[in-house]
Amino acid sequence: MGANNIIYKLKRYNHIPEMGNKAAGLQVLLRLGKQVPETYVVTAQAWRRSQQDDKQLNQQIANEIRTNLDPNSLYAVRSSANLEDSFDTSFAGLFSTVLNVQGYYDIQQAISSVWASASSLVIQEHLQKLDLQSDHLWMAVLIQEMITPFYSGVVFSRNPITGTHETVIEAVSGLGSQLVQDGITPFRWVYQRGEFREEPPSSQLPQEVITEIIHETDDLSRRCKKDLDLEWVYDGKTLYWLQMREITALRNLPMYSNQ
């Protein structure tokens, strides 16, 4: 790829300009040898050009999509802004995510949808709450191989509510987007000091996968030297990691003891 390209294959490049925090987290996961779906990054340069009504942008994106992506595969198209998934700011659920995208045209439309969400009224109001100006935000986009989920969910290397040193796993059958839907109660495991303090009465998620999630989360937290919030998906054969960020809820938590 040349210097003027705007779509990069994540695992092929050590440095991608303006790839955003989600992409940076995935790159760390790859560097640490973890399983990540095939991922491409549309850099923030393309978003800036879209703001300037660049007449050549659409054709360049169309050409690079055809060069990199399979029109018969399914993809998840999601945000990778500079301000989301950082320790200081969270934009969880505020930017658009488009799942099960197939075909060159629909991929390009999904990219535009993510870009549009960066200037929505909800985002402008959120920036005001954070005492930030709109020009503090820029948007890269991830195009990620869509993994058909048997189970998916989140895991915390430390309890984000109490601050207790324990691994907390939440899972649902199917897509992880159900975790934020009203009325969906996830399966939940709490693991501390070699034993489960909480686990669901029944679940089809194999015990060896739960064990793998716990061990991988502990390994990542130790090597990154941070308390982590991760998203994962299990397709019935392989555990994939979709996202990694530092837990933001712990900063002002007045914890004095784990007892």
Closest by CA position to 232, among listed 158, 163, 193, 179: 179
Beta strands in 45-116, from DSSP E residues, in sequence order: 75-81, 97-101
> What pLDDT is stored for residue 179 in this prediction?
56
Q: Three-state DSSP class for 97? A: strand
Dihedral-angle region of residue 193 (phi above 0 means left; psi in -120 to 50 means alpha; beta otherwise): left
Report pLDDT digits (tens) over 140-173: 999 999 999 999 999 999 998 888 999 999 999 8
Beta strands in the chain, from DSSP E residues, in sequence order: 7-9, 39-42, 75-81, 97-101, 139-145, 151-156, 167-173, 187-192, 195-198, 228-234, 239-246
**For residues 90-119, average pLDDT:** 87
**For residues 203-208, average pLDDT:** 92
Closest by CA position to 198, among listed 156, 173, 170, 158: 170
Report pLDDT digits (tens) over 105-152: 999 999 999 998 887 777 777 677 766 666 678 899 999 999 999 999
> What pLDDT is stored for residue 135 in this prediction?
67
Closest by CA position to 83, among listed 24, 161, 35, 34: 24
- Percentage of the chain modeled with pLDDT above 70: 85
Give φ, ψ of 131 to 5 degrees.
60, 40
- On the question of pLDDT at 258 being above 70, the answer is no
For the chain, the farthest-separated pair of C-alpha atoms sits apart, in whole angstroms, at 61
Is residue 18 within 8 Å of residue 44, measured between CB atoms?
A: yes
- On the question of pLDDT at 65 being above 90, the answer is yes
Cβ-count burial 48-72 (b if 16+ within 10 Å, e if not): ebbeeeeeebeebbeebbeebbeee
Neighbours of 124 (CB within 10 A): 13
> What pLDDT is stored for residue 254 in this prediction?
46
> What pLDDT is stored for residue 174 in this prediction?
84
> What pLDDT is stored for residue 77 in this prediction?
97
More confident residue, 5 or 216: 216
164 alpha carbon, distance to own chain's centre:
24
User: What pTM, to 2 d.p., does this model score?
Assistant: 0.87
236 alpha carbon, distance to own chain's centre:
20
